[in-house]
Amino acid sequence: MSDATTTARRIVARLIAGGVRDVVLAPGSRSAPLAYAIADAEAAGDLRVLIRLDERAVAFSALGLALATDTPVAIVTTSGTAVANLYPALAEADADAVPLIALTADRPAELWGTGANQTTNQLALFANVARHCGHLCADEPDVEAEVDAALSAARGLTSVAPGPVQLNVSFRPPLTPDAARLDDTTDAPAGPKAVASPQPADLAPRADSAPITDLLRALDRPLVVAGDKADQVAGIRAALTALGAPIAAEPSSNLRDLPSAIGRIPELLGTPLAEQIGAVIIAGHPTLTRPATSLISRTDIPVVVLAPHGKPTDLTGGTARILSVARTAADDSRAEPPPVSAWLRSWHDAEAALPEPAPTALQAAALAVWRACATAGLDLLIGSSSTIRALDALVLTGQRSPGFRTWANRGLAGIDGTIATGWGLARGLARPVRIVLGDLTYLHDVSALLRGAAEADVDLQVIVLDDRGGSIFDGLEHGTLAATSPAAHDRFTRYFLTPQAADITAIAAGFGATTHSLAVTPDDDRALAELLAAPVRGRSVVHVDVSAKSQVR
């Protein structure tokens, strides 16, 4: 058996022993030893394998799988530009503390820097986003130790937080197993075995040791800013319910149903009431609006950050108080709310006093999607840019059905990889997932709808809110400037709005998805609501014309 085959089998066996259950792989020759070993493990029932054509889709699908399963997911690529295509997803995983293991196949070290085909410095590609960058030669004696180091770093046990790692593996030919031993899995994993991992007791973020509930209750007139994945703070729902403070909960915080959640926060932060805020509590990763960003950046009032890992959101320049808290996949703790305080009542009253909003077509469609998912208990992945801000601007507090959860890639808040992330979510959760996104976000990742002929389909519905380009810029200073003259408007349209000449449903049909087209106006979402009432089966794309002018700030 070749060194390449032996090394690959040892790597795969150790990953399985360390708890890895999912692999996403793109085809390639240099990575073939890993592919053969993974195929053996899949046949033995030790791994679930997803094969995708494009490495960017591979990486974002793995991201979705890791989000869904809350465990590290392995990625396999061949050498060269294939490796570089992983960067956007690994950068998102870094910012969002998602454990990914990039197994990047490479040429032997003596070929580095020689101009050899498909060879570059792969170990330098992820240096600023990876928790760990390791390298293995084909005849490496300490394979298991290297894999253990990568796994521990990916889980945040030996690093500041969970996140992506790279294990670069140089393989020399032969890259295939012996034909006579192709079905011999003697050296393949016989089943998962526990691997001892270092504990993170000495690696916690700087933190206070006093009981968190007591610290929060001591704050005067606090406002809670709950950002993306705030529900991953263990006990957060019970703690905030018992606290009874007003909560500015972003759509992907999964806390908008708490009794003290307040709607229309961006507007309220522009009222005199905001001047009375005495303290800020941050949970999750808030990113959506400039008023909220300004609030959590203040240094004249106490800012307390609930940090489930060592990369807290702290925009104060280091003056915030960081509280180390336990992390969970999705908190479901409960508590009885206290009597409504005068402070909370003032926020409810201020919200009620705001003029009744006149939603745009985009907001009306986004709200219809949210309500349908909340009613059915369906997972919803929300695209970046205008779509998630449209939902943030609406009143979405109140009860929700069991099983309803929102997801978003808010680590770096890019529009790339959203469909691939949704594919990974649907596969990892083993249930239908709905995506709502804008037309540019859809077109940016539409190739992720492609399914390999030998791959299982997923129940994934993509709702495309088509407003003819990047309407988010309408609500920024660029949109204001565009209104000053025809020349400024033309420049704005080409350089910022960037409407695309594309047939959204025809592209989807070409990738094998079923398609629907309809329009929504601010006053009529009935056609969309009727379609959303049907179950999600297979891949489908719903093109929703919301081209009425949007102003989402």
- The answer to whether the beta carbons of residues 122 and 83 sit under 8 Å apart is yes
181-201 per-position pLDDT tens digit: 665 555 544 444 444 443 333
pLDDT of residue 476: 82
**Helices and strands counted in the chain (H then E):** 19, 17
pLDDT of residue 203: 29
Residue intervals in the chain for CATH 3.40.50.1220:
212-327+339-353
The CATH code of the domain at 361-545 is 3.40.50.970
502-521 per-position pLDDT tens digit: 999 999 999 999 999 999 99
Report pTM: 0.93
Helix/strand/coil for 463: strand
93-110 per-position pLDDT tens digit: 999 999 999 999 999 988
Percent of the chain predicted with pLDDT > 90: 75
365-391 per-position pLDDT tens digit: 999 999 999 999 999 999 999 999 999
121-159 per-position pLDDT tens digit: 898 899 999 999 999 987 788 999 999 999 999 999 999
Indicate the class that CATH gives domain 4-175: alpha beta
What is the average pLDDT score of the chain? 91
Q: How confident is the model at residue 180 (pLDDT cuts 50, 70, 90)?
A: low
| pLDDT at 179 exceeding the cut of 90 | no
Residue intervals in the chain for CATH 3.40.50.970:
4-175, 361-545
pLDDT of residue 548: 63
Per-residue DSSP letters for 235-264? THHHHHHHH---EEE-GGGS-TTSTTB-S-
Q: How confident is the model at residue 463 (pLDDT cuts 50, 70, 90)?
A: very high
- The answer to whether the beta carbons of residues 95 and 87 sit under 8 Å apart is no
pLDDT of residue 429: 98
The CATH code of the domain at 212-327+339-353 is 3.40.50.1220
The span from the CA of 305 to the CA of 162, in Å, is 18
CA atoms within 13 A on the CB side of 523: 0
| pLDDT at 553 exceeding the cut of 80 | no
Helix/strand/coil for 208: coil
pLDDT of residue 97: 96
Tokens 């606090």 sit at which residue? Answer: 222
pLDDT of residue 267: 92
| pLDDT at 168 exceeding the cut of 50 | yes
263, amino acid identity: G
Of 121, 48, 47, whose CA–CA distance to 79 is shortest? 121
pLDDT of residue 209: 37
317-361 per-position pLDDT tens digit: 999 999 989 888 888 888 899 999 999 999 999 999 999 888 899
Total Cβ atoms within 10 A of residue 28? 19
Tokens of 371: 């309500």
Tokens of 112: 């580095």
The span from the CA of 89 to the CA of 92, in Å, is 5
pLDDT of residue 517: 98
| pLDDT at 210 exceeding the cut of 60 | no
